[in-house]
Amino acid sequence: MFSGKARAYTNIALIKYWGKEDQELIIPMNNSLSLTLDAFYTETQVIFSEEISEDRFYLDNQLQDSKATVKVSRFLDLVRSKAHCNLSAVVQSQNFVPTAAGLASSASGLAALAGAASAALKLDLAPEELSRLARRGSGSACRSIYGGFAEWQKGDSDKTSHAVKIPSAGFENDLSMIFVVVNDSKKDISSRDGMQRTVETSAFYPGWLTSVPQDLAKAKKAIAEKDFVALGEVTEASALKMHGTTLAANPPFTYWSAESLQVMNLVRQIRNNGLACYFTMDAGPNVKILVERKNETALLQALNSHIATQQLVVAHAGPAIKILTEANGTASTF
C-alpha cells in the first residue's frame, strides 16, 4: 500500500486563459497569469493498494459515479505510467470550495490530486514537473502548484507547457480579493465546453488572442513596479474581453447573471467614489474584486450596503501546494 496526501489552493487568473490549442495535452492558446489565494482549497489523499481491483473516487465523502471516476482514473494512469505501477487507487478528496461554480475548484482539485498521487508513488517531482503533470488534469491546476503570482507559459509541447512563479518582492501580500458569491450551484456550460465553442465559432476570438500578450506584459510590469491601479485595470479589461468572446459564439452564451452585472456596476460606482477596486470573473457568475489590503475594510463596508455578508468571502495571497505527512502532521511546501 502506498499513500500520499496534498493540499492545494485555488488560483484566480488575472490575465485569462481561454481556449486550448491541444485538447488532449491541454496546451492553451495563450499564456495566462494568476494569483493563488488562501480562502479555498482542496485536500486529497491517494492510496494505491493491491487489495482493490478498480479505482474508487470519493468527493466530500460521497462515492462518485463512473463519469467522475473515469476522469480521475485517466489522470492516475499518467502517474502510474511514470512510476511503472499498475495498482488501483482509492482517492479521497475534500473540496473546501463549491464545485463547478466558477470558483476554481478544478485548479485546486487537480493540483492536489497530482501532488498526492506523485507523493504516494514517490516520484519526487520538481515544481515545474508537478506543474506539467497537474496541467494534464486541468489547465489552471498547473498554476496552483505555486504560491502568489504564477504565469502559465503555453509552450508548444507537453514538456514546455507549464507554470512558473513570478517574482514579486511580496507585492501579493499587499492585495486582497473579495469573492461575491451570487450563485454557488453547478453552471450550465462547463469551462471545457465553453472554451471549445468559443474557439471554434466566436467572431471575437481572434481579437482576444491578439490582445493577450500586451495585457500580460502590462500585468507583469505592474507587479514588478507594485502598481496596483495598473494591475487592476488590466485585470478587469482581460476579464471583460474574455467574456465578450462568448457573446459572439454560435450559439451565443454567457456566464453572467443579472446579479453578476449588478455587482460589476457596484464596483464601478465604488471606484468612481474614490476607492480603487477592480473586478474579474471566470467561467461562472461569481464576481471577484481585487483591492489593496489596506482598503479591504472600506470596500467591505461599501459592499455590505448592497450585498448580504454571507455572500462575501475575503481571500489573501495563498501558499504553494503542500505535501502532507499524516504521521506527524507536518507538511512540505514547494
Tens digits of residue pLDDT in 174-195? 999 999 998 766 778 888 899 9
Query: SS3 breakdown of the chain: % helix, strand, coil, rounded to 5?
Result: 40, 25, 30
Residues 6 or more apart whose Cβ sits within 8 Å of residue 11: 34, 35, 36, 37, 104, 107, 108, 140, 143, 144, 150, 318
User: What is the mean predicted confidence (pLDDT) over 40-54?
Assistant: 96
CATH of 2-168+327-333, one of 3.30.230.10, 3.30.360.10, 3.40.250.10, 3.40.50.300: 3.30.230.10
- Rounded to whole angstroms, the Cα distance separating 313 from 291 reads 13
* pLDDT band at residue 327 using 50, 70 and 90 as cut-offs: very low
pLDDT of residue 105: 79
- In the chain, DSSP assigns E strands to 2-15, 20-22, 27-28, 32-49, 56-59, 62-63, 88-96, 149-153, 162-165, 175-180, 277-281, 287-292, 312-315, 322-325, 330-333
**Joined grid coordinates for residue 161:** 507547457
Collapsed DSSP state (helix, strand, coil) of residue 115: helix
pLDDT of residue 161: 98
Give 142 or 104, the one with higher predicted confidence.
142
pLDDT of residue 118: 97
User: What is the mean predicted confidence (pLDDT) over 70-80?
Assistant: 97
Q: Is the pLDDT of residue 297 over 50?
A: yes
Strands 88-96 and 56-59 turn out to be parallel
Q: Is the pLDDT of residue 328 over 50?
A: no
pLDDT one-digit tens code per residue, 164-177: 999 999 999 999 99
Q: Is omega for the bond preceding 251 within 30 degrees of 0, making it cis?
A: yes
Q: Where are the domains of the chain?
A: 2-168+327-333, 171-315
User: What is the mean predicted confidence (pLDDT) over 278-287?
Assistant: 93
- Rounded to whole angstroms, the Cα distance separating 290 from 316 reads 10
* pLDDT band at residue 100 using 50, 70 and 90 as cut-offs: very low
**Joined grid coordinates for residue 33:** 497569469
- Rounded to whole angstroms, the Cα distance separating 12 from 251 reads 27
Q: Which of 24-28, 105-109, 324-328 has the highest mean pLDDT?
A: 24-28
Do the Cβ atoms of 288 and 179 come closer than 8 Å?
A: yes
pLDDT of residue 101: 45
Q: Is the pLDDT of residue 330 over 60?
A: no
User: What is the mean predicted confidence (pLDDT) over 255-275?
Assistant: 97
Please give the C-alpha separations between residue 193 and each of 19, 27, 158, in angstroms, as whole numbers.
10, 15, 22
For 257, list phi and psi in degrees, rounded to 5.
Answer: -120, 175
Position 177, amino acid: M
Cell 484566480, located at residue: 12
pTM summary value: 0.93
pLDDT one-digit tens code per residue, 107-141: 999 999 999 999 999 999 999 999 999 999 999 99
Looking at domain 171-315, its CATH architecture is 2-Layer Sandwich (3.30)
